[in-house]
Amino acid sequence: MDDTIGDVSTFLWWLGWRFEMGVALAVVLSILFGATTGTGIGYLVGLTSGLGLWYLGTKEIDRSYWTLLDPYAEYTKQVRRTVAGTTPHESTYTLNYSSGASLFVTPDERYFTTTVFVGDEAVTFHEGVGVDMVARVPYSKDEATEIRYEWLSSIQYEKPYVRLELTSGESIRYYANDRPDELLAEVGEHIERRSRDIAEETAATGETTDAGKMAERVQREFN
């Protein structure tokens, strides 16, 4: 079964991502053309033809990469709607990440999306939807992690990660190209509010609250 996506010229798309293959093709063609003609011009024509085909491949990628990113974006929305139906939340954020660069090619080699659901009691990170641009194959990790606010001591952005510091001393990281200011602010407020609530409950009762006891066990949750 062919799971590839995108309306592209398959050979040029494949070649455009691989400069080393363009060089190899140029060498092979220069040898063939040079041997056939027996002149330096033949070698030059072969070399130019090989590199020219590779360059056409990069232009094919730039021309048609949106035929992959558009369905990827649509699938991301579908997954977000599905997960939102079973995940308590007040607001939703999207963390986009891309990596891998090729010479003269505009898009990156890989794209990945993590959806964040911010609720009253916890924040949930759903990983996610991605696409391998080189292979033209979409994929879904489909893994959700719920993190209660009493388990968290802070949230911050350290490019290229959103880093969540746990009360256990451990940390969890999620890739993000850009700093998600609104997400950091909202989750930070929840962490501070929950911390105050736990402190007040502990002061009032003189005992560690159930939430505090749960926070003490958080390391086992993520080990």
DSSP codes, 146-198: EEEGGGEEEEEEETTEEEEEETTS-EEEEE-SS--HHHHHHHHHHHHHHHHHH
User: 131 forms bridges with which residues in the sheet?
Assistant: 111, 138
Q: How far is CA 88 from the centre of its chain?
A: 23
Q: What predicted TM-score, i.e. pTM, was given to this entire model?
A: 0.83
Q: Among the listed ranges 21-25, 118-122, 187-191, 219-223, which one has the minimum average pLDDT value?
A: 219-223
Cis peptide before 88 (omega within 30 of 0): no
Q: How far is CA 155 from CA 36, 113, 138, in A?
A: 66, 19, 30
**pLDDT value for 140:** 81
Domain boundaries, the chain: 10-64, 66-222
Torsion sign across C-alpha atoms 208, 209, 213, 215: negative
Average of per-residue pLDDT across 103-130 = 94
Q: How far is CA 193 from the centre of its chain?
A: 30
Domain over 66-222 is classified CATH 2.30.30.90: no
Token pair belonging to 148: 């209660």
% of residues, the chain, pLDDT over 90: 68
Q: Among the listed ranges 36-40, 46-50, 100-104, 106-110, which one has the minimum average pLDDT value?
A: 36-40
Q: 72 with 111: CB under 8 angstroms?
A: yes
Nearest to 72 by CA among 32, 105, 111, 103: 111
Confidence of residue 219 (pLDDT cuts 50, 70, 90): very low
Average pLDDT, the chain: 89
Rounded Cα–Cα distance for residues 183 and 163 (Å): 12
CA trace torsion 180, 182, 184, 190 (10° rounding): -150
**pLDDT value for 131:** 93
Contacts of 185 (CB under 8 A, 6+ apart): none
Encode pLDDT of 145-179 as tens digits.
Answer: 999 999 999 999 999 999 999 999 999 999 999 99
Count of all residues that appear for the chain in the document: 223
Rounded Cα–Cα distance for residues 65 and 78 (Å): 21
